[in-house]
Amino acid sequence: MEFVRDYNKTAIIYEGRNISYKEMITKAKIFSSQVLIEKEDRVIIYMENRPELLYSFLGVWDKSGTCVCLDSSLSGEELVYYIEDSDSKYIYTSQNNLSNVKKALEAAKKDLKIVVVDDVEDHEITEELVLNSPEPENIALMLYTSGTTGKPKGVMLKFDNILVNIEGLDKYKMFVKEDIVLALLPMHHIFPLLGSGVVPLAKGATIIFLKEMSSQSMVDAFQTYKVTMMIGVPRLWEMLHQKIMEKINAGKATKLIFKLCEKINSISFSRKIFKKVHDNFGGNVRFFVSGGSKLDPRVSRDFLTLGLKVCEGYGMTETAPMISFTPLDEIRPGSAGRILPGIEAKIAEDGEIIARGRNVMKGYYNKPEETAETIDSEGWIHTGDLGEIRDGFLYVTGRKKEMIVLSNGKNINPIEIEQQIMSKTNLIQEIVISEIDSVLTAVIYPNFQKIYDEKVTNIKETLKWGVIDSYNGKAPNYRKILDIRIVQEEMPKTKIGKIRRFMIPDMLKEKETENIHIEEPKYEEYTLLKDYLVKTKNRPVSPSAHIELDLGMDSLDMVELLTYLESNFGVKGAENIILDNPTVEKLAEFVKENRSDEKIEEINWKDYLNKDIEADLPKSNIVTMMGKLLTWLPFKLYFRVQKKRNGKSDIRTSYLCRKSPKSFGCFYI
């Protein structure tokens, strides 16, 4: 596989600097020379998204080594397991993560050579500037995925597993050398590693890394570099959809225009009608990609009405990663696309999706029994998901496994978290970790005898601050518990004592303890903040409510909240504003003491919507009728989306974008 066709073409853009393919290959050669890598030596890559991650990755491949890509948010304590389990010889890391590496190596009593990418010095390369690729049967990647056993497993992927994915996308003509790909998701996952890294480079395209995952950085990237493609998880697209549709549904005119575009069903027409939306994405977006979990079909349909294509795929780390993908001209909302060329897939008798072919992993590292449980004797990999195949398109209908797949695409092993929490306290009799109302929730049956003995007067507060907060402090954002539900009876169980997890939501409706009413403050800042939180989370809000735990605010919600505080009260600052003021009342008090009124630039929607619009309509009876109607309805209709704030009108439309692996940002039109 070649990674370059034009040495002078830009391969990576970072911090406003264009890095050519020639420079990228040179750097990869320099990075590979830092250590003596032999065939299938395992090399850990543990750093945030940045050019040096790709230099390290390609450098290891150049020497036919195996890349072990790890989550840069892992703590030093968590890193120990991966160092011990992977039997790696070297580790490439950044200065930001160096202290974690040293702690982990000391705890593991390992002596891996560390390459700090910030300290690698340039030197002359005498060999030919051509990147070598591993042999097809070589183990090129080892990525970790959690399983029902409670311990992450190293998935061994051959280079051929990756090649068949690239070949399949090539037949669908998904990527072209002119593409400019915004890489937002962390590259320790196979989905963004291939989609935002390996495949674009194989096609000679350009990748953009953002140093600061802020809303302004996002806007600048779209506008400056004219991004053509971006990969995201359903959570991102759902939040974007929510904000866009809120504005559209706010006025009769905009609702009518949207309905007309839905009936006409023309991508080119919709792109002209909703040109402003496209302009905010730079005006060059060809398509978006959604993966990690199923996207709401309604979201996909509405994006099509806006003239935006969102392609879905399905797969798993063990299939490197794709089993199916959606061709650009065959988007079917609700479907995960067609089975990729060169791959077999079918629905087993019990409804499970199974697949086999060149994409299936070699196995789990040092875990032959788990491998045999996943891949049967005929080579079929059992996905644990339920589905249907209709007209050649795959539809995922549910999950067999107890593994939680959050709406942001993260995989969570509930048993692992439950064990961690139970080890911290004797106040909990039973605990179930589940995704409830789209947030990770701890359902707790307390040990009432211990609580009585220790004279605990506020059960929920004690567990929240004394136990859950302690766990959250060390957990990556996607594993943080965002809500607590206390129950007064044991969890529903089978006859052999296994908790029936699927019954938990129904149990909560009947048995969850109710919040005690607390008298609320009367000042303006609290009232406005409460109204915002009630609307955002669609749940009751009290002064003592913990913004993260009680309201279920995830990292995307947090960035939205910070943006709201800045837009409406002039309160600026980082996420520590919320960390230092964790309850609704404390945050309202902080806002009251620190607010300042700043005028926000407004956009003249009337001038925009009064512009002439030229659109070639497809010839049909419905279009003729619509044309007459559009002639009768002058395009002087304009959005009157107003939000009164301190006597001013804020008519900006906010769009959410991925901020980092842990948070999101928003930008405006």
Q: What is the pLDDT of residues 543-590, one digit of tens each?
A: 888 776 567 676 678 788 888 898 889 887 665 787 678 789 999 999
More confident residue, 258 or 149: 258
| Closest of 666, 641, 644, 652 to residue 528, by C-alpha | 644
For residues 329 and 337, give the distance between their C-alpha atoms in angstroms, rounded to a whole number: 11
- 488 and 558 housed in the same domain: no
DSSP state of 515: P
For the chain, the average pLDDT equals 84
| Average confidence (pLDDT) over 207-229 | 87
Strand 229-232 relative to strand 180-182, pairing: parallel
Share of the chain above pLDDT 90, in %: 54
Angle 234-248/555-569 helices, nearest 10 degrees?
A: 40
Q: Please give the structure tokens belonging to residue 568.
A: 């409406």
Enumerate the β-bridge partners of residue 436.
439
Which domain-ending residue is among 398, 429, 458? 398
Task: Spell out where 152-205 has E strands.
Answer: 152-158, 180-182
Same domain for 393 and 411, yes or no, is no
pLDDT surpasses 80 at 149 = no
Residues 476 and 529 in one domain: no
Q: Residues 65, 40: contact at Cβ < 8 Å? A: yes
Specify the pLDDT at position 215.
Answer: 65
Q: How many of the other CB atoms lie within 10 Å of CB of 113?
A: 12
Please check whether residues 337 and 483 belong to one and the same domain.
no
Q: CB 494: neighbour CB atoms within 10 A?
A: 8
Which pLDDT value is given to residue 233? 85
Longest dimension (CA), the chain: 79
Angle at 317 between CA 315 and CA 318, to 5 degrees: 90
pLDDT band at 306 (very low <50, low <70, confident <90, very high): very high
Answer yes or no: do 27 and 101 share one domain.
yes
Interatomic CA distance for residues 177 and 229, integer angstroms:
12
pLDDT (mean) for 353-359: 97
pLDDT of residue 234: 84
* Amino acid letter for position 643: K
**Does 171 map to a domain?**
no
Please give the Cα distance from 653 to 243 (Å, whole number): 8
Tell me, yes or no, whether 471 lies in a domain: yes
- Whole-angstrom distance, CA of residue 95 vs CA of residue 72: 12
Number of H helices, E strands in the chain: 25, 29
Q: What's the total number of domains in the chain?
A: 4
Q: What is the pLDDT of residues 176-216, one digit of tens each?
A: 999 999 998 899 999 999 999 999 999 999 999 998 877 67
The predicted model gives 600-623 an average pLDDT of 49
Of the three residues 484, 514, 544, the one that is the final residue of a domain is 514
| pLDDT above 90: residue 377 | yes
User: Hey, what are 401's tokens?
Assistant: 């496994």
**pLDDT for res 660:** 38
- State pLDDT tens for residues 240-269: 898 888 889 888 999 999 999 999 999 999
Same domain, 295 and 386: yes
* Residue 621 domain-assigned (yes or no): no
Instruction: For residue 387, tell me if it sits in a domain.
Output: yes
Beta bridge partners of 208: 13, 182
pLDDT, tens only, 473-529: 889 888 999 899 888 788 887 544 567 787 888 888 765 444 444 578 989 999 999
Domain limits for position 507: 403-514
Q: Looking at the structure, tell me whether residues 430 and 345 fall in a common domain.
A: no
- Is 175 a domain residue? no
| pLDDT(307) > 60 | yes
**Which one has a higher pLDDT value, 25 or 385?**
25
Separation of alpha carbons 173 and 122, rounded Å: 37
In whole angstroms, what is the distance from residue 364 CA to residue 323 CA?
19
Cβ-based neighbours of 538, under 8 Å, separated by 6 or more: none
Residue 297 falls inside a structural domain: yes
Residue showing tokens 């697209």: 237
Residues sharing a CB contact under 8 Å with residue 178, sequence separation 6 or more, in sequence order: 205, 228
Same domain, yes or no: 477 and 391: no
**Per the domain annotation, does 655 fall within a domain?**
no
Q: What is the mean pLDDT of residues 155-184?
A: 95
Give the C-alpha separation, 54 to 4, whole Å: 14
Rounded distance between C-alpha atoms, residue 449 and residue 149, angstroms: 31
Residues 380 and 444 in one domain: no
> pLDDT above 70 covers what percent of the chain?
83
Domain boundary among 514, 542, 564: 514
Residue 248 forms part of a structural domain: yes
**What does the alpha-carbon distance between residue 467 and residue 459 come to, in Å, rounded to a whole number?**
11
Whether 446 and 506 share a structural domain: yes
Q: What predicted TM-score, i.e. pTM, was given to this entire model?
A: 0.68
Give the residue carrying structure tokens 């030229």: 614
- My answer on whether 258 and 383 are in the same domain is yes
For 493-506, how does the pLDDT look when each residue is reduced to its tens digit (9 = 90+)? Answer: 754 456 778 788 88
427 and 360 in a common domain? no
Please state the rounded mean pLDDT for residues 369-392.
Answer: 95
